Structure 1
Amino acid sequence: MDTRMQLTRLRHTLLPGRGPLVRSSDRVQAGLLLLVVLLSLITAAGAVLFGIGEHSAAAAESRRQTATRYTVTAVLLADGPVPAAAGRSGTPFGSGPTRATWRTRDGQQRVGDVEAAAGTVAGHEVEIWVDETGAPAERPLTMAAAVIGAPLGAATLGAAVVSFFVLAYRGAVHLLNRRRYDAWQREWAAHGTGTTHRGDQRP
């Protein structure tokens, strides 16, 4: 079905008219389709506003984390976790929390658990991120992640809501089609009652 036929069909569905062949179910379907279109437009506008808000919040959080977090070199006080079974490449993998010590920016000595690769031994140096208090922290949120993540999340949420509206509309149309078919069957049966077929002539 080409685009012109699809647009024509959509126009007839939205504007069924007032002719004698127009059924009440056609008007109901037109109203449902109009409602889905309006709700989808509202959802799209809401998703855009939500994405802008999320982007602003994520960008502010990225700036805050970048300003307060920094890297230090930690020295393991114990061996790292035992390597797990090797994968297909034959390389052992795995990591886990391991006791270590490090110094903060102002020279304070800290001791705590840091993430160390499997197979590392005591005395091994690892680079870690710490926050303004000197405690281990995650890597700061990058501005690129803030720019990509917020709009992507908003678009995904908007698409999910619109998909729900479309599925609900299709379910309603399916029920309307069933009712129209049943009504057509009843009309056909009523119209055919009392008719005589040529092959059923009696002497």
Structure 2
Amino acid sequence: MKQKNAPSKGSLLISKPLIGDGFFEQSIVYLTEHNHEGSMGFALNKESLLLAQDFINDLEGKDPIVFGGPVEQDALFFLHSFDNLPGATLITNDIYFGGDFDVFQEAFRTTQKHSIEVRSPKLFLGYSGWSEGQLEREIADGTWIVVNPPLELDPLSVRKETWRKYMLDLGGNYALWANSPKDPLLN
């Protein structure tokens, strides 16, 4: 299937089956930046064993930290829907990237403490980055399916199993691959 969509800020990149890349195998990446200099985004479905509660005191629940990509894996990043967070960058509609971490922590705690209806933020270790033209080459090579806004998938609600569900929804050969092991040669 020839890719028709071009990536842009706010696009989702869905890895095609058997791309042969350990980190990006069965990945859904949300692009927070895409321009002539390159691209930046976060893998949304690579949950770690770490929890947001390990980084933010007095936070209830068990919100998994996600491995956002292979770049700067020792740095913490976050996506959220807090529209009044100082320093946050609007990506699409009501999804923001970054901002003042102290204010973010307080907003996160407050929403939980008072049971305020808000989509749960996502915290990431590392990010996914591409140099100038690199992502376009990967798309041309058939590595990614590009889904442009408006999105049916909410980036803040993507979980580990979402890639498989998306492949099943695409149907055809994609549905077959969704039910296969990551490495069919080991089957």
Q: What's the TM-score once normalised by structure 1's chain length?
A: 0.20
Bigger Cα Rg: 1
- Structure number with higher relative contact order (C-alpha < 8 Å, ≥ 6 residues apart): 2
Richer in helix (by share): 1
Richer in strand (by share): 2
